Homo-oligomer: A and B are copies of this chain.
Amino acid sequence: MEKEPISEDNQVKSMAIANIKFKKGFWYDRIELIRKTVIPGQWKALNDQIPEAEASHAIENFRIAAGEIKADFYGRVFQDSDVAKWLEAVSYSLAAQADPELEKLADQVIDLIVRAQQADGYLNTYFTIAEPDQRWKNVRDLHELYCAGHLIEAAVAYYQATGKQKLLDAVCKLADHIDTVFGKEAGKKPGYPGHQEIELALVKLYHLTKNKRYLALSQYFIDQRGSQPHFFTSEAEERQEESKKHYNDLFDYSYSQSHLPVREQTVAVGHAVRAMYMYCAMTDLAVETGEQDLIKACQRLWNNVTKRQMYITGGIGAQDHGEAFTFDYDLPNDTAYTETCAAIGLVFWAQRMLLLEAKAEYADLMEKALYNGVLSGISLDGQSYFYVNPLEVWPASCEQRYDLSHVESTRQEWFGCACCPPNIARLIASLGQYVYSFSRQAVFVHLYTACQASFELGGQTVKLTQQTNYPWEEEVIITVSTEKTVEFTLALRLPGWCKNPDLELNGEKVTLDQLTEQGYAQLTREWEKGDQVVLRLPMPVERIRANPEVRKNSGKVALQRGPLVYCLEEVDNGSNIFALVLPRNNQLQAGYDPNLLGGIVQLEGEAVKIDRSLWNGELYQANADQYQVTPLKAIPYYAWNNREAGEMLVWITEN
């Protein structure tokens, strides 16, 4: 395998959260919501203080494991990871904005976690409480390595936010312990996790500690995965189990993407979140090593996911069974699984692909998933969540059909399997890492949002200020601030959804064609304090069609404006929005309403619907296609189900 590590000089990095300040606007509001409402609310959930929500017991489990109270473990085997992800969200929030009380609480939680750690470094409340003699005997199904990965991510984030080393020391000890258990050396298990996660966490731990053993262990897990003889089979045999499948024979090895060595995988299969976390780690390692086979595998899988198996919202995972990918172009709108965590995973992966190569396509999808399939997972008030994010909902059907029993038609305060809520909290709290990436010579602007950030470029500290009311308004003003003139490239993403972007530099129009590379307008020059670029991204209302191979969207359009996918809701359009037909030539008007759903641009126009007076209770008729004009109103998909329960529809019949 050819290996060309990217030189330190050209290495594109994501930025530290501390170096960016969001300003009043779309993401600022949401980051504030996470800090003020979501993090405190989730703390209550983790402590079982939300009366009508599903129980968590996650904090209690740590107390039991620490020997401080006597009780049984409760929850999923991966319950610890909820605490870890919450702590990671807290860390990003603290990195962005000091909050001594929150930090104190986090310190207490960390103290508790560390007290639950065993002398040999082992740290997992389920096994410590419930099955101490079963450690590392079923990594296929029981999420031990997964939980360790989340603790590592939390520790790295907390150290970066606060400089405090207690949890970092604990997870290094844990990682060191894991390194004694797994690996190719004699006496170690030639294994890897059933649910990927630790691989990407170990790369983070390596970046922070520079300890190459962590990178090597991550690489081992990725390289070993899917090799023969199959570890999960040998492991099951050691347990004297016949099953070569996950979870009582329900799922074969493709469920955990261990059906083939990773470099031989060509299409996304199995559990979508596992896939995303694995692809993240593959990309991390590809960035580290420059290994061409791994890079090609990442690109191939990216293309399969985003050009064949992704909903227009950035949601992925087309079926409930296995929370999984199905096959190319199979994208039903109602039975979709589209787990919030999977869209989050796609954002994680897109960010890493951007570090591998700065192509706007990755940032486009990152933006798409963020604004749509991720954000739909949390209510506007930050107090309830969707686990599953389908593109059409008929509540009666979700309540009564068994094959839709995975779809909740209203957001829930918490879940028995509560992976999504803290995942969305940690992603939004860390959004400062996603806006830009940079090398020593260039800044890539991936997301447009009001903020101020500072970079080290050409040996100088350069500040960039974005002023914008994106995604509601089309204009982004970026102002450069630098002590001395400095040469660097300012690379502005020209979103794929935008047909006619327009750029001015210090008041003069810039011809984009020549400057644009891989979807970024690359302005390379000697920048001076006060230099200003104005990017205009016209946002007409677009009717998006799906590739004709997507059979379920035949004859239908989705409405999009800028990066936002729109939907119809029953509360705006009356019952049975499925019967609305949007005539081909009807224009829709976009208008900002500050009082609707926290302030949104809504789309309004006219549709038609069948004249029901022709029906008289018949079920089928030959002569019943007279239409009546009816008003239509669409809102951003992410904002649905924030007023009352009802039908929702993304793909609208067109005529």
Question: Chain A residues in contact with chain B, CB under 8 A?
Answer: 306-308, 310, 312, 318-322, 326-327, 330, 335, 394, 396-397, 400-403, 497, 499, 542-552, 554-556, 558, 560, 576, 578-581, 584, 609-610, 612, 615, 617-622, 624-625, 653-655
Contact = CB atoms under 8 A, between A and B. Distances in A.
B619 A550 contact: yes
23 contacts: A319-B402, A319-B403, A321-B402, A321-B403, A326-B397, A326-B400, A330-B396, A403-B403, A545-B621, A545-B624, A545-B625, A546-B619, A546-B620, A547-B619, A547-B620, A548-B576, A548-B609, A550-B619, A551-B576, A554-B578, A554-B653, A555-B654, A655-B655
From A326, A335, A545, residue with most partner B Cβ within 10 Å: A545
A538 to B, nearest CB: 12
A330 to B, nearest CB: 6
From A402, A548, A578, A580, residue with most partner B Cβ within 10 Å: A548
Contacts of A308: 619
B548 A610 contact: yes
Contacts of A555: 555-556, 581, 653-655
Contacts of A401: 318-319, 321, 326, 330
A579 B551 contact: yes
A622 B321 contact: no
A321 to B, nearest CB: 3
Copies in the complex: 2
B579 A307 contact: no
From A308, A319, A554, residue with most partner B Cβ within 10 Å: A554
Nearest to A618: B547
Contacts of A653: 554-555
B335 A612 contact: no
Nearest to A406: B403
Contacts of A306: 619
B320 A402 contact: yes
A317 to B, nearest CB: 12
A545 B609 CA distance: 13
A622 B560 contact: yes
Contacts of A654: 555
A497 B621 CA distance: 9
B551 A578 contact: yes
A624 B558 CA distance: 13
B402 A322 contact: yes
Nearest to A649: B551
Contacts of A625: 545, 584
Contacts of A544: 620-622
Contacts of A330: 396-397, 400-401
The 5 A-B pairs at the shortest CB distance, nearest first, are namely: A321-B402, A551-B578, A555-B653, A548-B579, A542-B622
Contacts of A548: 576, 579, 609-610, 612, 615
A655 B579 CA distance: 14
A619 B310 contact: yes
Contacts of A549: 576, 579
A548 B647 CA distance: 15
A401 B328 CA distance: 12
A618 B615 CA distance: 40
A433 B650 CA distance: 50
A321 B550 CA distance: 26
A403 to B, nearest CB: 4
Contacts of A322: 402
A385 B402 CA distance: 26
A15 B619 CA distance: 31
A590 to B, nearest CB: 15
A655 B554 CA distance: 11
A171 to B, nearest CB: 37
A625 B342 CA distance: 31
Nearest to A322: B402
A400 B576 contact: no
A624 to B, nearest CB: 5
Contacts of A497: 622
Nearest to A625: B545
A576 B362 CA distance: 30
A127 to B, nearest CB: 31
Contacts of A655: 555, 655
Contacts of A619: 306-308, 310, 546-547, 550
A226 to B, nearest CB: 20
Nearest to A556: B555
Nearest to A329: B619
A326 B653 CA distance: 24
Given A319-B401, A321-B403, A547 B327 contact: no
A500 to B, nearest CB: 12
Contact of A327 (B400, B403, B546, B579): B400
Contacts of A319: 401-403
From A335, A394, A547, A578, residue with most partner B Cβ within 10 Å: A547
Nearest to A545: B624
Given A326-B401, A400-B326, A576-B551, A307 B617 contact: yes
Contacts of A617: 307
Contacts of A578: 551-552, 554
A396 B308 CA distance: 14
From A307, A401, A579, residue with most partner B Cβ within 10 Å: A401
Contacts of A397: 326-327, 330
A6 to B, nearest CB: 28
A335 B319 CA distance: 13
A56 to B, nearest CB: 27
A574 to B, nearest CB: 12
Given A551-B394, A555-B581, A581-B554, A620 B545 contact: yes
Contacts of A612: 548
Contacts of A580: 554
